[in-house]
Chains A and B, each alone.
Chain A
């Protein structure tokens, strides 16, 4: 598994593990121990796997995740290829904005999808069928969240291919699409497969979406785990499901880690303007992505401006004149930045360690937080740290845990793409190991670090961790304020919730613009 490198006195695998040590300690405290407590609390009642019902849940979970990944491939890969090869109108803006669905709270996404596809939805009149009931809406919801992941990852894969290679294939007589298929596709395969697997994982583990959109009929395993754990306190059965699900995600992730370790090469940035076929296909695919990923968000923005009797600014006035709003924004930004600092440090170190050690296991470990059912952690925290359950450090640690894998996933490919000679050259010129890293590694990986930071901030803004720990009213963030309003009947509550959601989206767009510039790559 590990090799010794010529540079440095210690075998680099050991150095790598040492560098990753802080993140490993953090992982142990925040994930391994609490998860262990949950699993041992109820004992593993593996008998549940013998029940037809749960086998059916598993089948449905895999089926919907597989179908989502397939659809995402179909739409995302051609578009990513075109974006990497040509300048498409609005292409860069699209790549940047693709992070927005990532921060959207699930209930907001459901509202938006409903405005688009519900019985009175904007698209419903055009469709020959009603998607508002049945698995289709869940698939579309999965795509809303995951198509961006697919596109950004494939884009990263394609943009590492030297255009001269494709050019050479065309000189040798391949047509444009032939060259793309025979040369481009195999080279970009790691990125594409990574996107597909991540999409599969996220969809398989999704829980908010099927719970809200699907109702009981389309419950995924994660929904069952949530119900058994949070409501029924049947930890034994839940643990069996958690363990089974973990096994499944481990296998998928192991494959994924193997694929992404191969990616290397330098991204290219010189692209011709698209014309003819590529232009039209690009525009058509952009329209599909726009409809799926942004129209639901626009619907939410529109709802904040539409009252029962036509356009109104009343909801915005109410939200902007409410002192609580500023407090929500302040908390969101404060927690976001604190978690960002933690995630950048831990995620960066973990990536550096995994790169130095060239250890697939270390690589895999960085993905653990994305693989474990959040509700099982929530119970684990209560059991392991009851005294800390409602404290701010715990809240921030939970956010950090969910955010840091994304930093690692962003920084790793950039490290792997470093020209190997550069560091050696720095050494030759008399730079010590640390200095070489500071002057060579850091500047070259900074864009990736910024991309990862943007993504990890997105997870915090999107409030995925809110269910992990107990909260306090004074810690209310934008999404908490939004859910509070959606807990009461009435037009103004809905309108103001949509206004808060719009503020959240604007805040997210602003930070992505600053941090990432749309160029970040994640694997």
Chain B
């Protein structure tokens, strides 16, 4: 018996012997253990920086991905060992940072957005550092001029519909927010909850921006009564409720770039033969869209501020900016960055950022939403 058990465990470990760390392709984005000091490379990069050295702890939401080897380049150029920490989604991350203010979890943070900046400011989480590259970011996309957060990318939260499934409903597309909560439309719409997801929160802000608070609660309650479904997060909405995944709802809250991603991640995608149309499409109804600006900033109490600054600059560098779109399905903030041709399938729309007072205290809005909608 015991022998059998030991044997079983042995074969288990043997079959799946962990790959040696140094040749670990899966995590080339992450630090390789500093077995030796990094080679002194004469970087022929755009911005040769001094050897900074040390360790840099980078905290981000779970969706932070770059192409393999990108972070290695940063480590080679600067001699800084990067330790990446993932802290759930952006909302959870903000709260974790607030809870650990006294003993910061990291030196630099990526992924806080415009709806979170006021709270991060009020909690005094960030140290200002304005990257020179911020000058190349259009003014309306800058999160703040002091560089508490430097905008890295932006996205538009927007409704998407499944073309084939929508045709089956035989309905014309809704054109106004007012129509959207009628029974025939609301019963076809699924959205992630404002209380537990950042696109959901963006949608809530958009409705309040359009209708005012009282009007928004009335709209939401009507929509819920008429069959709009509210689920936990984006994945739940998109992969269990949306008709593309076999759900019942042909209308889902997602991002402006999602139709392009649908094509990019379609079976047998060939970059040379991009189809003329995506199976899904955006539906930009006024009062349902929101501009999300994501930024990178230095955390107060950082133990390696020089390296943190270099990292902020690097996130806005040409290489990283060009790498971001097909990894994270957002738009690069620096003007003139080349986009992958597949992005032609994502309609761009001009969405102005919300007024500052709307995003002053999103938490209070969420609380009010919970009070007036969820708990009704």
Contact B267 A487 (CB under 8 A): no
Contact B236 A110 (CB under 8 A): yes
Please give, as numbers and ranges, the residues of chain A lying within 8 Å of B27 by CB-CB distance.
Answer: 324, 327, 473-474, 476
Pairs of residues from A and B, 6 with the lowest C-beta to C-beta distance, nearest first: A490-B265, A514-B8, A327-B26, A324-B26, A330-B18, A211-B232
Please give, as numbers and ranges, the residues of chain A lying within 8 Å of B63 by CB-CB distance.
Answer: 487
Q: Is B22 an interface residue (CB 8 A)?
A: no
CB proximity of B356 to chain A, nearest CB, Å: 22
- Stretch among A68-76, A385-393, A407-415 lining the B interface: A385-393
Considering the complex, give the chain A residue whose CB is closest to the CB of B21.
A474
Contact B19 A231 (CB under 8 A): no
Q: Is A294 an interface residue (CB 8 A)?
A: no
Considering the complex, give the chain B residue whose CB is closest to the CB of A510.
B12
Contact B374 A216 (CB under 8 A): yes
Contact B229 A230 (CB under 8 A): no
- Tally of contact residues, B, Cβ under 8 A: 78
Q: Is B54 an interface residue (CB 8 A)?
A: no
CB proximity of A467 to chain B, nearest CB, Å: 7
- Stretch among A147-155, A156-164, A308-316 lining the B interface: A308-316
Q: Is B240 an interface residue (CB 8 A)?
A: yes
CB proximity of A85 to chain B, nearest CB, Å: 26
Interface residues of A (CB under 8 A from B): 53, 107, 110-111, 114-115, 118-121, 130, 132-133, 211-213, 215-217, 226-227, 230-233, 307-309, 312, 314-315, 323-324, 326-331, 333-334, 337, 379, 382-383, 386-387, 389-390, 443, 446-447, 450, 467, 470-474, 476, 483-484, 486-495, 510-511, 514-515
Please give, as numbers and ranges, the residues of chain A lying within 8 Å of B9 by CB-CB distance.
Answer: 337, 514
Considering the complex, give the chain B residue whose CB is closest to the CB of A492.
B265
Please give, as numbers and ranges, the residues of chain B lying within 8 Å of A312 by CB-CB distance.
Answer: 267
Known: A231-B95, A386-B105, A488-B329. Is A333-B13 also a contact (CB below 8 A)?
yes
State the majority secondary structure of interface residues on A: helix
Please give, as numbers and ranges, the residues of chain B lying within 8 Å of A230 by CB-CB distance.
Answer: 88, 91-92, 95, 196
Known: A114-B246, A307-B267. Is A488-B261 also a contact (CB below 8 A)?
yes
A489 touches which of B18, B246, B254, B269 (Cβ 8 Å): B254
A216 touches which of B62, B230, B240, B268 (Cβ 8 Å): B230
Q: Is B145 an interface residue (CB 8 A)?
A: no
Contact B26 A107 (CB under 8 A): no
Contact A470 B83 (CB under 8 A): no
CA distance A169 to B265 in the complex (A): 65
CA distance A186 to B233 in the complex (A): 46
CB proximity of B334 to chain A, nearest CB, Å: 23
Chain B stretch 37-71: residues in CB contact (< 8 A) with chain A: 57, 59, 62-63, 65
Considering residues A215, A307, A467, A472, which has the most beta carbons from chain B within 10 angstroms of its beta carbon?
Answer: A215
Query: Could you jot down 24 A-B contacts, CB within 8 Å?
Result: A110-B236, A118-B240, A130-B248, A216-B195, A227-B196, A230-B95, A312-B267, A323-B26, A330-B18, A337-B12, A386-B100, A467-B88, A470-B85, A472-B83, A474-B27, A474-B30, A487-B235, A488-B265, A490-B265, A491-B266, A492-B265, A492-B266, A510-B12, A514-B5
Known: A215-B232, A232-B195, A471-B86. Is A493-B265 also a contact (CB below 8 A)?
yes
Contact A328 B236 (CB under 8 A): no
CA distance A114 to B231 in the complex (A): 14
In addition to A215-B193, A231-B91, A330-B16, 8 A-B residue pairs with Cβ atoms within 8 Å of each other are A230-B92, A324-B26, A467-B88, A474-B31, A489-B262, A491-B266, A511-B8, A514-B9
Contact A470 B265 (CB under 8 A): no
Please give, as numbers and ranges, the residues of chain B lying within 8 Å of A327 by CB-CB distance.
Answer: 18-19, 24-27
Please give, as numbers and ranges, the residues of chain B lying within 8 Å of A446 by CB-CB distance.
Answer: 1-2
CB proximity of A424 to chain B, nearest CB, Å: 24
CA distance A211 to B9 in the complex (A): 36
Mark contacts of B235-266 with chain A using CB atoms, 8 A cut-off: 1 yes-contact digit, 0 otherwise. Answer: 11011100101111000001000100111111
